Structure 1
């Protein structure tokens, strides 16, 4: 099996049409058809169901598509890292993160790692689900997220639980005292969109649903900065982790919640079963210290 066969398969699986796939790959259709047939013969399994108007992945094809993407991502990441190492003679350490964890101590960890002149630190903004896929593909070495993802190849450690707070338009009646979840439910909410699998939107909206409260979602946004801009525009409130308070924004007041013990986790994800190299051991040591500082109140 050659890498080009994997690339051919992925494009065909995405297009589900040999003609369009051939055009996208800039090759003629007959050799593409032969390559897919050879791949299926080598695999000993049908990857596609041929239909009059196109193709459909078999169950085996769906599984192989996921694995093929990971293999190609791993090859790409390895080639890129090899080039960087050759050019700079540095060890590459890649970190995935969700934006809301980058307003706390993560920048301190990056700063301390960068003191090692033989290290090149690369940051990737990724959702937690994307971090798991990136870990398996070798794109990142460690990830920091908010939700639990069950995957046999990845281990997740809870670093600490972080209080949720409300970002509220400055001057709103909600800023007179810590608002309750019931009070918040009566106001327009700026929410983050739900997607497949566990996510931050499920965590925050679930807080209302489990209390039997309905919410009025005024707007869904994809990123924290946009959410805070809409709050500053008096379009509604949003719930954010406590460390976002460090992001000062004109027109936005941050308020603790009246309800007790409303928190979201901060989770570190790593590849399971890997013996940590020197860089990972250094990162873990720094991380343990920063988490201890957080838990003992030496860092807000």
Structure 2
């Protein structure tokens, strides 16, 4: 499969008409039809239903279209960044992160690095597993996540352990208490992210399972903000890292747990054995200060 196949397919999926798609791509209709047929043969799946009035995407075609658009968007973003870097002669430095870390000190690291004229900074919202793959592929230079992953090409450092909190709706019976895990297990649980896994969702489930507690997962959400919205709607409760309480969302109360040792690690991932660039050295120095601030209670 080549890049042009993705572009041809997306044009056909958006126009739902081969003639219009060919015109949009500035090519003749027969070659476009052949390319689409080749793509379906390579995938072993039917992407379109051909009819007298045009094309209709199959369920498989809709799925492939969604992901093809994401791949093309990432490629376009990368190409634009490379061109900017080439024109400016700046060093490109990529940071991967899980969303929950952007409520704490990570924005301070980003802000300080952005002030360096010689650096072109890129950010990518990725799970810890995705960060490891992105590091190995050279798409990012440093990652911040919550899972420990054993990979010979990536080194991980636990910066600190962050307390977990229960997020419950306003007026919930647990408001005003420091609940135990056993008490939390009595209420429906909203879990996030639903995918990709493993993720924080598995860390949360593990906290209950290791204590022999069964939970009822009433709803799964891909985004933390969606999960919190479900909590506000009284679908259930959820567990969140301490940093999340800083957003002060209406309709939610954040409760510290009775078991103070229940935490989520903040894990920094880097490529193993690589000589640190000047930007990496600067990032490490900034991180050292931020982590020390967190450990000594100077939380921003």
Q: TM-score, normalised by structure 2?
A: 0.74
Distance 1:98 1:233, change over 3 A: same
Partner in structure 2 of residue 120 of structure 1 = 120
Question: Aligned partners of 1:290 and 1:164: how far apart in 2?
Answer: 20
Does 2:156 correspond to 1:160?
A: no
Other structure's SS at 2:217 match: strand
Where do residues 53-202 of structure 1 align in structure 2 (5 Å cutoff)?
80-193=80-193, 198-202=198-202
Query: What stretches of structure 1 move > 4 A for 4+ residues in a row?
Result: 5-8, 25-29, 75-81, 193-197
Question: Aligned partners of 2:125 and 2:185: how far apart in 1?
Answer: 30
Partner in structure 2 of residue 223 of structure 1 = 223
Structure 1 residue 139 displacement after superposition:
1.0
Question: Aligned partners of 2:266 and 2:110: how far apart in 1?
Answer: 17
Tell me if the contact between 2:194 and 2:222 (Cα under 8 Å) persists in the aligned partners: no
1:64-96 deviation line (CA, Å, top 9, x unaligned): xxxxxxxxxxx9897554312123332221110
1:1-53 deviation line (CA, Å, top 9, x unaligned): xxxx8869x9xxxxxxxxxxxxxx95958xx8xxxxxxxxxxxxxxx9xx9x9
Partner in structure 2 of residue 59 of structure 1 = none
Where do residues 11-90 of structure 1 align in structure 2 (5 Å cutoff)?
80-90=80-90
1:207-238 deviation line (CA, Å, top 9, x unaligned): 11111111111110011101111111121110
Question: Aligned partners of 2:180 and 2:248: how far apart in 1?
Answer: 23
Tell me if the contact between 1:194 and 1:202 (Cα under 8 Å) persists in the aligned partners: no
Partner in structure 2 of residue 209 of structure 1 = 209
Tell me if the contact between 1:190 and 1:230 (Cα under 8 Å) persists in the aligned partners: yes
Tell me if the contact between 1:165 and 1:254 (Cα under 8 Å) persists in the aligned partners: yes
Partner in structure 2 of residue 298 of structure 1 = 298
Q: TM-score, normalised by structure 1?
A: 0.74
Other structure's SS at 1:283 match: helix
Structure 1 residue 171 displacement after superposition:
1.5
Tell me if the contact between 1:92 and 1:122 (Cα under 8 Å) persists in the aligned partners: yes
Equivalenced residues, count: 251
Question: Aligned partners of 2:244 and 2:33: how far apart in 1?
Answer: 50
Structure 1 residue 188 displacement after superposition:
1.1
Partner in structure 1 of residue 56 of structure 2 = none
Question: Aligned partners of 2:123 and 2:151: how far apart in 1?
Answer: 22
Other structure's SS at 1:102 match: helix
Partner in structure 1 of residue 24 of structure 2 = none
5+ residue gaps, structure 1: 11-24, 33-47, 54-74
Distance 1:196 1:98, change over 3 A: closer
Question: Aligned partners of 1:175 and 1:222: how far apart in 2?
Answer: 26
